[in-house]
Structure 1
Amino acid sequence: MPNRRLRLLDRYPGATQWSDDVTVVGHGMTVEGELSSEGTIVIAGRVVGPVSSGTLVRVMQGAVVEGSIRAKCVLVEGAVDGEIGVQDQFELAESGRVRGDVTGPRIAVAEGAYLKGRLRATAGTVHRFRERRNR
Protein backbone atom coordinates (compact mmCIF):
# COMPACT_ATOMS: atom_id res chain seq x y z
CA MET A 1 0.00 0.00 0.00
CA PRO A 2 1.49 3.39 -0.98
CA ASN A 3 2.28 6.00 1.63
CA ARG A 4 -0.86 8.16 1.66
CA ARG A 5 1.02 11.13 3.11
CA LEU A 6 3.17 11.59 0.00
CA ARG A 7 2.67 14.91 -1.75
CA LEU A 8 0.87 14.76 -5.09
CA LEU A 9 3.94 15.56 -7.20
CA ASP A 10 5.76 12.64 -5.57
CA ARG A 11 2.85 10.29 -6.31
CA TYR A 12 2.31 11.43 -9.92
CA PRO A 13 5.63 11.96 -11.71
CA GLY A 14 3.70 12.60 -14.94
CA ALA A 15 2.84 16.05 -13.58
CA THR A 16 6.50 17.07 -13.85
CA GLN A 17 7.80 14.73 -16.58
CA TRP A 18 5.74 14.70 -19.77
CA SER A 19 4.68 11.38 -21.26
CA ASP A 20 2.07 10.11 -23.72
CA ASP A 21 -0.73 10.13 -21.13
CA VAL A 22 -0.23 13.79 -20.10
CA THR A 23 -2.36 16.57 -21.61
CA VAL A 24 -0.73 20.01 -21.41
CA VAL A 25 -2.42 23.38 -21.80
CA GLY A 26 0.65 25.52 -22.41
CA HIS A 27 1.48 29.01 -21.17
CA GLY A 28 -0.27 31.59 -23.34
CA MET A 29 -2.83 29.04 -24.57
CA THR A 30 -6.59 29.30 -23.92
CA VAL A 31 -8.98 26.35 -24.11
CA GLU A 32 -12.71 27.13 -24.20
CA GLY A 33 -15.08 24.23 -23.58
CA GLU A 34 -14.85 20.90 -21.79
CA LEU A 35 -11.36 19.46 -21.22
CA SER A 36 -11.39 15.75 -20.36
CA SER A 37 -8.70 13.04 -20.19
CA GLU A 38 -8.17 9.67 -18.55
CA GLY A 39 -4.54 10.70 -17.93
CA THR A 40 -2.89 13.62 -16.16
CA ILE A 41 -3.81 17.18 -17.17
CA VAL A 42 -1.28 19.97 -16.58
CA ILE A 43 -2.60 23.50 -17.06
CA ALA A 44 -0.10 26.33 -17.50
CA GLY A 45 -2.43 28.56 -19.55
CA ARG A 46 -6.16 29.29 -19.26
CA VAL A 47 -9.18 26.98 -19.40
CA VAL A 48 -12.75 28.29 -19.59
CA GLY A 49 -15.06 25.34 -18.94
CA PRO A 50 -15.17 22.12 -16.93
CA VAL A 51 -12.03 19.98 -16.51
CA SER A 52 -12.04 16.24 -15.69
CA SER A 53 -9.28 13.66 -15.36
CA GLY A 54 -9.04 10.02 -14.38
CA THR A 55 -5.86 10.78 -12.44
CA LEU A 56 -4.40 14.22 -11.67
CA VAL A 57 -5.18 17.81 -12.63
CA ARG A 58 -2.33 20.24 -11.89
CA VAL A 59 -3.03 23.97 -12.21
CA MET A 60 0.41 25.57 -12.42
CA GLN A 61 1.34 28.92 -10.89
CA GLY A 62 0.08 31.67 -13.21
CA ALA A 63 -2.56 29.40 -14.80
CA VAL A 64 -6.31 30.08 -14.59
CA VAL A 65 -9.29 27.70 -14.67
CA GLU A 66 -12.77 29.22 -14.93
CA GLY A 67 -14.95 26.16 -14.38
CA SER A 68 -15.34 23.07 -12.25
CA ILE A 69 -12.62 20.44 -11.82
CA ARG A 70 -13.28 16.72 -11.21
CA ALA A 71 -10.40 14.28 -10.84
CA LYS A 72 -8.85 11.62 -8.67
CA CYS A 73 -6.39 14.24 -7.38
CA VAL A 74 -6.06 18.01 -7.87
CA LEU A 75 -3.07 20.27 -7.17
CA VAL A 76 -3.71 24.02 -7.43
CA GLU A 77 -0.71 26.34 -7.63
CA GLY A 78 -2.54 28.89 -9.84
CA ALA A 79 -6.14 30.16 -9.79
CA VAL A 80 -9.43 28.26 -9.99
CA ASP A 81 -12.86 29.89 -10.08
CA GLY A 82 -15.26 26.95 -9.72
CA GLU A 83 -16.10 23.89 -7.65
CA ILE A 84 -13.49 21.16 -7.18
CA GLY A 85 -14.33 17.52 -6.47
CA VAL A 86 -11.69 14.86 -5.88
CA GLN A 87 -11.90 11.13 -5.30
CA ASP A 88 -8.58 10.93 -3.43
CA GLN A 89 -6.63 14.11 -2.59
CA PHE A 90 -6.79 17.91 -3.02
CA GLU A 91 -3.76 20.10 -2.40
CA LEU A 92 -3.78 23.92 -2.45
CA ALA A 93 -0.23 25.30 -2.64
CA GLU A 94 0.92 28.57 -1.07
CA SER A 95 0.62 30.33 -4.46
CA GLY A 96 -2.83 28.80 -5.11
CA ARG A 97 -6.11 30.70 -5.22
CA VAL A 98 -9.52 28.98 -5.23
CA ARG A 99 -12.96 30.58 -5.36
CA GLY A 100 -15.44 27.73 -4.96
CA ASP A 101 -16.27 24.73 -2.81
CA VAL A 102 -13.84 21.82 -2.48
CA THR A 103 -15.02 18.27 -1.71
CA GLY A 104 -12.91 15.15 -1.18
CA PRO A 105 -11.61 12.62 1.32
CA ARG A 106 -8.21 14.29 1.86
CA ILE A 107 -7.67 18.04 1.71
CA ALA A 108 -4.41 19.91 2.33
CA VAL A 109 -4.09 23.71 2.32
CA ALA A 110 -0.71 25.48 2.50
CA GLU A 111 -0.15 28.47 4.74
CA GLY A 112 -0.66 31.61 2.67
CA ALA A 113 -3.01 29.99 0.15
CA TYR A 114 -6.31 31.76 -0.67
CA LEU A 115 -9.62 29.92 -0.50
CA LYS A 116 -13.06 31.49 -0.71
CA GLY A 117 -15.57 28.68 -0.43
CA ARG A 118 -16.41 25.67 1.70
CA LEU A 119 -14.17 22.69 2.40
CA ARG A 120 -15.96 19.38 2.76
CA ALA A 121 -13.64 16.59 3.87
CA THR A 122 -15.59 13.41 3.18
CA ALA A 123 -13.12 11.36 5.26
CA GLY A 124 -10.56 12.55 7.77
CA THR A 125 -9.71 16.18 8.34
CA VAL A 126 -8.36 19.19 6.50
CA HIS A 127 -4.57 19.46 6.83
CA ARG A 128 -2.54 22.67 6.79
CA PHE A 129 1.11 22.64 5.78
CA ARG A 130 4.01 24.98 5.17
CA GLU A 131 5.29 24.86 1.57
CA ARG A 132 8.84 23.46 1.50
CA ARG A 133 9.00 22.03 -1.99
CA ASN A 134 11.58 23.51 -4.36
CA ARG A 135 9.94 24.87 -7.48
Structure 2
Amino acid sequence: MLSRKRNEPTSSSSRHAETSLISHGTIIRGDVRFTGTLHVEGRIEGSVLGEGANAVFTLSEHGQVQGEVRVPHAMINGQVNGDIYASERLELATQARVVGDVRYSSLEMAAGAQVNGRIAHQGDDHVQRELPAPEVRNETATA
Protein backbone atom coordinates (compact mmCIF):
# COMPACT_ATOMS: atom_id res chain seq x y z
CA MET A 1 0.00 0.00 0.00
CA LEU A 2 2.83 2.42 0.72
CA SER A 3 4.51 1.79 -2.65
CA ARG A 4 1.26 2.63 -4.45
CA LYS A 5 1.21 6.07 -2.83
CA ARG A 6 4.82 6.71 -3.86
CA ASN A 7 4.09 5.85 -7.48
CA GLU A 8 1.08 8.13 -7.77
CA PRO A 9 1.68 11.07 -10.09
CA THR A 10 2.36 14.35 -8.39
CA SER A 11 -0.26 17.03 -8.67
CA SER A 12 0.43 20.10 -10.78
CA SER A 13 0.44 22.31 -7.68
CA SER A 14 3.32 20.37 -6.14
CA ARG A 15 5.34 20.66 -9.37
CA HIS A 16 5.13 24.46 -9.15
CA ALA A 17 6.57 24.32 -5.62
CA GLU A 18 9.94 23.00 -6.81
CA THR A 19 12.79 24.90 -5.17
CA SER A 20 16.50 24.71 -5.93
CA LEU A 21 19.10 25.99 -3.47
CA ILE A 22 22.64 27.16 -4.05
CA SER A 23 23.96 27.24 -0.51
CA HIS A 24 26.45 29.57 1.16
CA GLY A 25 30.02 28.69 0.17
CA THR A 26 29.00 27.24 -3.20
CA ILE A 27 30.28 28.89 -6.39
CA ILE A 28 28.69 28.15 -9.77
CA ARG A 29 30.73 29.21 -12.82
CA GLY A 30 28.49 29.32 -15.88
CA ASP A 31 24.92 30.19 -16.77
CA VAL A 32 22.10 28.85 -14.61
CA ARG A 33 18.69 28.08 -16.15
CA PHE A 34 15.84 27.11 -13.85
CA THR A 35 12.10 26.62 -13.50
CA GLY A 36 10.15 26.94 -10.27
CA THR A 37 12.11 28.76 -7.55
CA LEU A 38 15.87 29.28 -7.28
CA HIS A 39 17.22 30.47 -3.92
CA VAL A 40 20.87 31.57 -3.92
CA GLU A 41 22.93 32.01 -0.78
CA GLY A 42 26.21 31.32 -2.60
CA ARG A 43 27.72 32.84 -5.73
CA ILE A 44 26.90 32.54 -9.44
CA GLU A 45 29.46 33.71 -12.00
CA GLY A 46 27.28 33.75 -15.10
CA SER A 47 23.75 34.58 -16.20
CA VAL A 48 20.65 33.55 -14.26
CA LEU A 49 17.74 32.70 -16.57
CA GLY A 50 14.29 31.84 -15.20
CA GLU A 51 12.21 29.80 -17.64
CA GLY A 52 8.44 29.89 -17.48
CA ALA A 53 6.03 32.55 -16.27
CA ASN A 54 6.17 31.28 -12.66
CA ALA A 55 9.96 31.25 -12.23
CA VAL A 56 11.05 33.03 -9.03
CA PHE A 57 14.64 34.00 -8.21
CA THR A 58 15.63 34.92 -4.65
CA LEU A 59 19.07 36.16 -3.66
CA SER A 60 19.87 36.17 0.06
CA GLU A 61 21.85 38.94 1.74
CA HIS A 62 25.07 36.88 1.40
CA GLY A 63 24.33 35.77 -2.16
CA GLN A 64 26.13 37.16 -5.19
CA VAL A 65 25.59 37.13 -8.95
CA GLN A 66 28.29 38.21 -11.39
CA GLY A 67 26.23 38.39 -14.57
CA GLU A 68 22.84 39.18 -16.02
CA VAL A 69 19.60 38.18 -14.28
CA ARG A 70 16.58 37.55 -16.56
CA VAL A 71 13.53 36.30 -14.67
CA PRO A 72 9.79 36.97 -14.33
CA HIS A 73 9.94 37.42 -10.53
CA ALA A 74 12.99 38.38 -8.44
CA MET A 75 13.60 39.13 -4.77
CA ILE A 76 17.10 40.57 -4.32
CA ASN A 77 18.75 41.08 -0.94
CA GLY A 78 22.36 40.45 -1.99
CA GLN A 79 24.77 41.75 -4.61
CA VAL A 80 24.26 41.67 -8.39
CA ASN A 81 27.01 42.90 -10.72
CA GLY A 82 25.08 42.90 -13.99
CA ASP A 83 21.77 43.96 -15.48
CA ILE A 84 18.45 42.74 -14.06
CA TYR A 85 15.40 42.14 -16.27
CA ALA A 86 12.28 41.27 -14.25
CA SER A 87 9.36 40.87 -16.65
CA GLU A 88 6.76 40.71 -13.84
CA ARG A 89 7.93 41.84 -10.39
CA LEU A 90 11.20 42.92 -8.80
CA GLU A 91 11.70 43.36 -5.06
CA LEU A 92 14.89 45.03 -3.85
CA ALA A 93 15.30 44.44 -0.11
CA THR A 94 17.36 46.51 2.34
CA GLN A 95 20.70 44.79 1.64
CA ALA A 96 20.30 44.75 -2.18
CA ARG A 97 23.30 46.12 -4.05
CA VAL A 98 22.96 46.27 -7.85
CA VAL A 99 25.72 47.49 -10.16
CA GLY A 100 23.98 47.52 -13.52
CA ASP A 101 20.77 48.57 -15.20
CA VAL A 102 17.38 47.43 -13.92
CA ARG A 103 14.26 46.87 -16.05
CA TYR A 104 11.02 45.88 -14.39
CA SER A 105 7.26 45.73 -14.79
CA SER A 106 6.47 46.14 -11.07
CA LEU A 107 9.05 47.34 -8.53
CA GLU A 108 9.24 47.38 -4.74
CA MET A 109 12.39 48.95 -3.32
CA ALA A 110 13.12 49.06 0.41
CA ALA A 111 14.97 51.88 2.15
CA GLY A 112 18.68 51.05 2.06
CA ALA A 113 18.65 49.19 -1.27
CA GLN A 114 21.15 50.56 -3.78
CA VAL A 115 21.17 50.60 -7.58
CA ASN A 116 24.20 51.96 -9.42
CA GLY A 117 22.78 52.08 -12.93
CA ARG A 118 19.62 53.02 -14.77
CA ILE A 119 16.17 51.99 -13.57
CA ALA A 120 13.45 51.76 -16.22
CA HIS A 121 9.86 50.54 -16.27
CA GLN A 122 9.19 48.01 -18.99
CA GLY A 123 5.55 46.95 -19.11
CA ASP A 124 3.46 45.41 -21.88
CA ASP A 125 2.62 48.89 -23.12
CA HIS A 126 6.28 49.96 -23.11
CA VAL A 127 7.05 51.70 -26.38
CA GLN A 128 10.42 53.11 -27.31
CA ARG A 129 9.78 56.79 -27.90
CA GLU A 130 11.94 58.73 -30.31
CA LEU A 131 11.93 62.37 -31.17
CA PRO A 132 10.66 63.09 -34.69
CA ALA A 133 13.26 64.05 -37.25
CA PRO A 134 13.42 67.78 -37.87
CA GLU A 135 11.65 69.00 -40.95
CA VAL A 136 13.92 70.06 -43.77
CA ARG A 137 12.64 73.09 -45.63
CA ASN A 138 13.74 73.89 -49.12
CA GLU A 139 13.72 77.63 -49.01
CA THR A 140 15.55 79.77 -51.49
CA ALA A 141 16.90 83.02 -50.27
CA THR A 142 15.81 86.09 -52.16
CA ALA A 143 18.02 89.09 -51.98
- Normalising by structure 1, what TM-score? 0.74
SS of corresponding position for 2:94: coil
Match in the other structure for 1:99: 99
Contiguous gaps of at least 5 residues in structure 1: 1-18, 124-135
Counterpart residue number, 1:67:
67
Which residue does the alignment assign to 1:25? 22
**Which residues of 2 match residues 28-107 of structure 1 at below 5 A?**
28-54=25-51, 55-107=55-107
Question: Alignment length, in residue pairs?
Answer: 107
**If you compute each CA radius of gyration, which structure gives the higher value, 1 or 2?**
2
Structure 1 vs Structure 2 CA RMSD: 1.9
TM-score for the superposition, normalised by structure 2: 0.70
Percent of pairs with identical residues: 28
Query: CA 1:89–1:45 in 2, change beyond 3 Å: closer, same or farther?
Result: same
Partner SS, residue 105 of structure 1: strand
Distance across 1 between alignment mates of 2:49 and 2:80: 14
